[in-house]
Chain A
């Protein structure tokens, strides 16, 4: 692993998150064009981030959502049924 590899690997997340300027991005891409190991790390991290984001956008199971809705209805119904009454 070269010093350039170390610099690239330390910057992969910033690169994937779009935190780097265009010149730095180009130098990382150029390095990955020459270095298969770093290219693998970049591709692997991109895939990992994508997998996490995909999982995050997955819907909550319907049964859980239904329980959440039922709980909200009980809360709102209970609150509206006892206006100003703290002894319910």
Chain B
């Protein structure tokens, strides 16, 4: 279970940085993914369904962060409040680690800067599809489930995104 919980946070970290582009949000999104995965862990019976669930959860957390930043009302729950254990009981557990935000150096270490810059120039919905499909290795069906687009639409957007990405990479 420990490995699964670490992997869920790593996925949240990459998604938060690459799709949402707000390094300062990454730690909160990782924490949210950790707690929600912990609560969900007993219901995992199919790895593919878990991946779809995880990326949907992370995407929603990123969107909520963005709305919150824009000053809109947020339903983002406090992570310091009690959480449900997999066995159905509740515990107040503080896993916050706000003193050590993700810094730019760590991000730069993980990926070619030219690619990051090119990705950042894509429209958000296209960027999300590239990250999930190419980098995280989700199938077209999984990306469709996370985004709510049809599989045909995912393929069309991925194709356009690749063309845009190629153009950006050539110019950088």
Partners in one complex: yes
Identify the A interface with B (CB < 8 A).
10, 12-14, 19, 41, 44-45, 47-49, 51-53, 55-56, 58-61, 63-65, 67-76, 78-79, 82-88
Tell me which of A63, A69, A70, A86 contacts B90 (CB under 8 A).
A86
Q: Which of B42-50, B64-72, B158-166 contacts A (4 or more CB under 8 A)?
A: B158-166
The interface size of chain B toward A, counting residues with CB under 8 Å, comes to 48
A32–B39 CA distance with the chains assembled, in angstroms:
52
In the complex, what residues of A have CB within 8 A of residue B13's CB? 60, 64, 68
Q: Chain B: which residue is nearest A77 at the CB level?
A: B93
Given A64-B106, A71-B95, decide whether A53 and B134 contact each other with a Cβ distance below 8 A: yes
**Contact at A86–B92, with CB atoms within 8 Å?**
yes
Given contacts A75-B5, A86-B89, 16 further A-B contacts (CB under 8 A): A44-B166, A47-B166, A51-B169, A52-B130, A55-B112, A63-B106, A64-B102, A65-B6, A67-B30, A68-B5, A68-B9, A69-B2, A71-B95, A75-B38, A76-B5, A82-B93
**Shortest distance between the CB of A52 and any CB in chain B (Å):** 4
Which residues of chain B are within 8 angstroms of A44 by Cβ–Cβ distance?
166, 170
Closest to B92 in A: A88
Is the CB–CB distance between B6 and A56 below 8 Å?
no
In the complex, the answer to whether A72 meets B6 with C-beta atoms within 8 Å is yes
Interface residues of B in 56-106 (CB under 8 A from A): 82, 85, 89-95, 97, 100, 102, 106
Beta-carbon nearest neighbor of B156 in chain A? A13
Point out the residues of chain A lying under 8 angstroms from B137, CB to CB: 56
- B:1-60 near A, CB below 8 Å: 1-2, 5-6, 9-10, 13-14, 27, 30-31, 34-35, 38
| Residue B117 lies at the interface, judged by CB distance under 8 Å to chain A | no
**Given known A60-B110, A74-B95, contact A55–B6 (CB-CB < 8 A):** no
Pick 14 A–B contacts, CB within 8 A, sort by A: A12-B159, A45-B162, A48-B165, A48-B166, A55-B110, A55-B111, A55-B112, A56-B14, A56-B135, A60-B13, A70-B97, A71-B97, A76-B1, A86-B89
Q: What 3 A-B pairs have minimum CB-CB distances, sorted nearest first?
A: A56-B135, A52-B134, A13-B159
Minimum CB distance partner of A58 in chain B: B110
Bound Cα distance from A33 to B31, whole angstroms: 51
Complex partner residue of A74 from B27, B93, B130, B155, CB under 8 angstroms: B93
- Other-chain residue from B6, B34, B162, B170 in contact with A49 (beta carbon distance below 8 A): B162
